[in-house]
Amino acid sequence: MSDSKSQNAMWGGRFASGPDAIMEAINASIGFDKRLARQDIEGSRAHAAMLAATGIITDSDANAIRKGLLTILSEIEAGKFNYSTTLEDIHMNIEARLKELIGEPAGRLHTARSRNDQVATDFKLWVRDQFDAAIGGLDALIGALLDQAEAGADMVMPGFTHLQVAQPVTWGHHMMAYVEMLGRDLGRMRDARVRMNECPLGAAALAGTSFPIDRDMTAAALGFDRPAANSLDAVADRDFALEFLSAASITATHLSRLAEELVIWSSAQFRFVTLSDRFSTGSSIMPQKKNPDAAELIRAKVGRINGALVALLTVMKGLPLAYSKDMQEDKEQVFDAADSLMLALAAMTGMIADMAPNPKALETAAASGFSTATDLADWLVRQLNLPFREAHHITGALVKLAEDKGCDLPDLALKDMQNEHPAINMQVYDVLGVYNSTQSRVSYGGTAPVQVRAQIARWREVLK
């Protein structure tokens, strides 16, 4: 076998032409960074306008560039743009097409910038859009949870610890727990968006430029608050993508927890809720099945999103300043995570909006497992002035007695209770019902309907 044939066999069938094909395949990013086309054109238009305003290029060249870029944008939106892997990335693809359209003026567009600051700007613009989309998605989901909370502010259900019945709570209170979680996610998204809103354009390759550019002009044109203050950091920074992935991972974790509850609650063993047919599927062989597939898939999305965060952290962890080609690997994970997050938010919002709780099953479960035992202990402390540890011991003995009799605490006879402590009186029964229990939890942030409604009103104002 000749050396050339030996080499081709080594590279494998896909790369039969040898090392050049491998280099093109590993170097090209157009397969995924074409998603940045709109942002790339937006950044180039702002850059060209600034170059003309500062006298670096002529108005006629800037006008030709602007018209050419708009033509390219229309071609891309119509699906008529031909992407080439030999041109590596979206920036070179657009620049090559611009030259075909307008000729020599296209070569002036790249004056006073580099692909380093160009890609950092494009990527920031794209991630900023994802923050806005996620904020909108969270707003919608929180709104759906508030509607559920309002409709079920008085509805009782079991509160769990260790997935064991602990104390009665209200449906509205449980819904509001997720409002609080997602509200923090909303805050993280908003905070990170503010922090990232500095413009890299004009940092050039890494050291700035000798041309008399106006970075404030391009920053303002692109909706940034200010130009990035250090040219090295401007092209090397991917904190904005990491913060998006971090916020997305925490959000996805919260969605996964809620999804897990929907899977449990909709099961035949619980029957706490009925999920709509729109977000469920059937079985290929078991006609009775109604599977919560949308919830299960949301539960799985957190793996992809967490993986994206770990991947990008790993890419960035050992890079010296400023730009390294490693950073080409910064986008696919973010693209995938953003897609997964938005799909999960939309699906969860639909499920929550359509979800129908089953009040009877919820109330029955709330009354099981001696869920008002803590109310009994608190009553003993409050009414009989017993130390809590003594009250806890008495309550434990009464739970054991009820267990032995096969009944719940409210079903115990008064004389049975008085055998444990003679001062117990008929008033004890006022705290043993699940509705009485939830109504009594009036401390700030508690499960009492009055507190739940106050929190709903507060969140309605926040979302305005």
Q: Which residues carry out catalysis?
A: 162, 283
Does the CA dihedral 10-14-20-23 come out positive or negative?
Answer: negative
> 159 - beta bridge partners?
167
Using CA atoms, how far residue 220 sits from 118, 138, 158, 214, 332, in Å, is 16, 27, 53, 10, 28
Calculate ∠ Cα 122-124-128, nearest 5°: 120
According to the 3-state scheme, what is the secondary structure of the chain? Answer: CCHHHHHHHHHCHHHCCCHHHHHHHHHCCHHHHHHHHHHHHHHHHHHHHHHHHCCCCCHHHHHHHHHHHHHHHHHHHCCCCCCCHHHCCHHHHHHHHHHHHHCHHHHHCCCCCCHHHHHHHHHHHHHHHHHHHHHHHHHHHHHHHHHHHHHCCCCEEEEEECCEEEEEEEHHHHHHHHHHHHHHHHHHHHHHHHHHCEECCCCCCCCCCCCCCCHHHHHHHCCCCEECCCHHHHHHCCHHHHHHHHHHHHHHHHHHHHHHHHHHHCCCCCCCEECCHHHCECCCCCCCCCECHHHHHHHHHHHHHHHHHHHHHHHHCCCCCCCCHHHHHHCHHHHHHHHHHHHHHHHHHHHHHHCEECHHHHHHHHCCCCCCHHHHHHHHHHHHCCCHHHHHHHHHHHHHHHHHHCCCHHHCCHHHHHHHCCCCCHHHHHHCCHHHHHHHCCCCCCCCHHHHHHHHHHHHHHHC
Contact predicate 199/222, CB 8 Å: yes
Does the CA dihedral 336-338-344-346 come out positive or negative?
Answer: negative
